[in-house]
């Protein structure tokens, strides 16, 4: 990995972590859910849009995908939020985990569809 890519991952990770922190402060446990669902969509959309369009350089794509989205969405945050809910209500914790898993898959699918559509749309114009 070259210097430009490393710096883009560093900056993207910093920004993604800060935005996730803000969501957690504003929405508490739901901030993790919002970040994870949004991140699933963003990563799939950007990946497939960039593949179709080829507009972003690889260093910037890595900075956004691995850096920003990687720091914005974390498995450890999901598990911590689930455990926190589980202390008071196991059913709520299970529901939260299922909404996260199924919702993440749905959002990634939507991101894939939107990314492909947007990427191909410009080719037909």
One DSSP character per residue, 27-62 reads HTHHHHHHHHHHHHHHHHHHHHHHHHH--S-HHHHH
Q: From the centroid of its chain, how far is CA 34?
A: 9
* C-beta atoms surrounding 49 within 10 Å: 22
pTM of the model: 0.80
Dist. CA 80–CA 95, nearest whole Å = 14
Give the mean pLDDT of 82-104.
Answer: 95
Residue located via tokens 């199924």: 102
Q: What is the pLDDT of residues 32-82, one digit of tens each?
A: 899 999 999 998 998 888 766 777 888 888 899 899 999 999 888 889 889
Q: Which domain holds residue 33?
A: 3-124
Quote the number of domains for the chain.
Answer: 1
Dist. CA 37–CA 23, nearest whole Å = 12
């Amino acid at each position: 990995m070259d210097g430009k890519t490393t710096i883009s991952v560093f900056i993207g990770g910093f920004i993604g972590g800060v935005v996730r922190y803000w969501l957690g402060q504003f929405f508490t446990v739901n901030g993790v859910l919002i970040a994870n669902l949004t991140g699933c969509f963003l990563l799939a959309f950007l990946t497939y849009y960039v593949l179709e369009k080829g507009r972003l350089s690889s260093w910037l794509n890595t900075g956004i995908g691995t850096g920003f989205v990687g720091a914005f969405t974390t498995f450890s945050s999901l598990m911590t939020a689930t455990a926190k809910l589980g202390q008071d209500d196991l059913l709520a914790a299970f529901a939260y985990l299922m909404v996260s898993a199924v919702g993440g898959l749905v959002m990634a699918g939507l991101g894939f569809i939107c990314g492909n559509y947007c990427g191909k749309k410009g080719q037909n114009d």
